[in-house]
C-alpha cells in the first residue's frame, strides 16, 4: 500500500511560507485560503495555519557530533533529487544549516541537509545509501 504523510503546523505568515515552499523548495500548492495552505512536498501533505510562534523546551540534540534540531520534519528522497534540491537551494543563497553523512559505513547510512523555513521550522532532506535500510537496526 502506498501512503503519504500529513502534518499540520502553525506558520507566522501564509504568503512567506507559500513562497518558500513553492519557489525555493519546488513543492506544489494544494488547497489554500488567507489563513492556511496545503503544500504537496514529494507527495506528502503539510498544512500550515496562520498562528503565533510557539516554543519548545529542548530545541536541540547531538547525533554523531552534529547539533541537530529535536523538532524537525523532512522528506526522504533519492540521491538525484537530494543533490538537485541541495544545489538549487545553494544557488538561491539559502543557508543550509547542517549538511552531513550519518552512520557512514553502517546500516542506515544517509546524507542529510537541514534548512530553516520562514517559520523557523527545521526541514530535513535525507537520502539513504540503501533505501531498504531506512528502518533496519
Mind listing the pLDDT tens digit of every residue in the chain (137 residues)?
577 788 988 888 999 999 999 999 999 999 898 888 999 999 998 989 888 776 666 677 778 888 777 778 889 999 999 999 999 999 999 989 889 999 999 999 999 999 999 988 889 999 999 988 887 76
End-to-end CA distance of the chain: 23
Q: Which three cell numbers stand for residue 66?
A: 552534529
Q: Which CATH architecture fits 6-133?
A: Roll (3.10)
Report, in this order, helix, strand and coil percent for the chain, each rounded to 5: 20, 40, 35
pLDDT at position 86: 95
The pLDDT value recorded for residue 1 is: 53
**pLDDT given at position 136:** 79
3-state SS, residue 136: coil
Q: What is the pLDDT of residue 67?
A: 79
pLDDT at position 39: 93
In 1-137, where do the E strands start and end?
A: 6-11, 28-32, 36-41, 44-50, 60-63, 66-69, 72-76, 96-102, 110-116, 122-128
Predicted confidence at residue 128, as pLDDT, reads: 93
Per-residue confidence (pLDDT) for residue 57, from 0 to 100: 66
Query: Can you give the pLDDT at residue 34?
Result: 87
**Full-model pTM:** 0.78
Q: Which residues pair with 26 in a beta bridge?
A: none
**59 near 69, Cβ under 8 Å?**
yes
Amino acid at each position: 500500500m502506498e501512503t503519504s504523510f500529513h502534518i499540520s503546523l502553525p506558520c507566522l505568515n501564509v504568503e512567506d511560507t507559500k513562497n518558500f515552499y513553492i519557489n525555493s523548495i519546488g513543492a506544489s500548492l494544494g488547497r489554500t485560503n488567507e489563513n492556511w495552505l496545503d503544500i504537496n512536498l514529494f507527495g506528502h501533505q503539510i498544512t500550515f495555519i496562520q498562528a503565533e510562534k510557539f516554543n519548545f523546551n529542548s530545541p536541540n540534540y547531538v547525533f554523531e557530533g552534529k547539533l541537530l534540531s529535536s523538532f524537525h520534519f523532512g522528506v526522504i528522497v533519492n540521491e538525484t533529487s537530494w543533490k538537485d534540491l541541495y544545489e538549487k537551494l545553494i544557488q538561491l543563497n539559502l543557508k543550509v544549516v547542517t549538511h552531513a553523512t550519518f552512520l557512514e559505513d553502517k546500516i542506515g547510512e544517509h546524507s542529510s541537509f537541514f534548512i530553516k523555513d520562514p517559520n523557523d521550522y527545521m526541514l530535513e532532506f535525507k537520502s539513504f545509501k540503501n533505501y531498504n535500510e531506512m528502518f533496519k537496526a
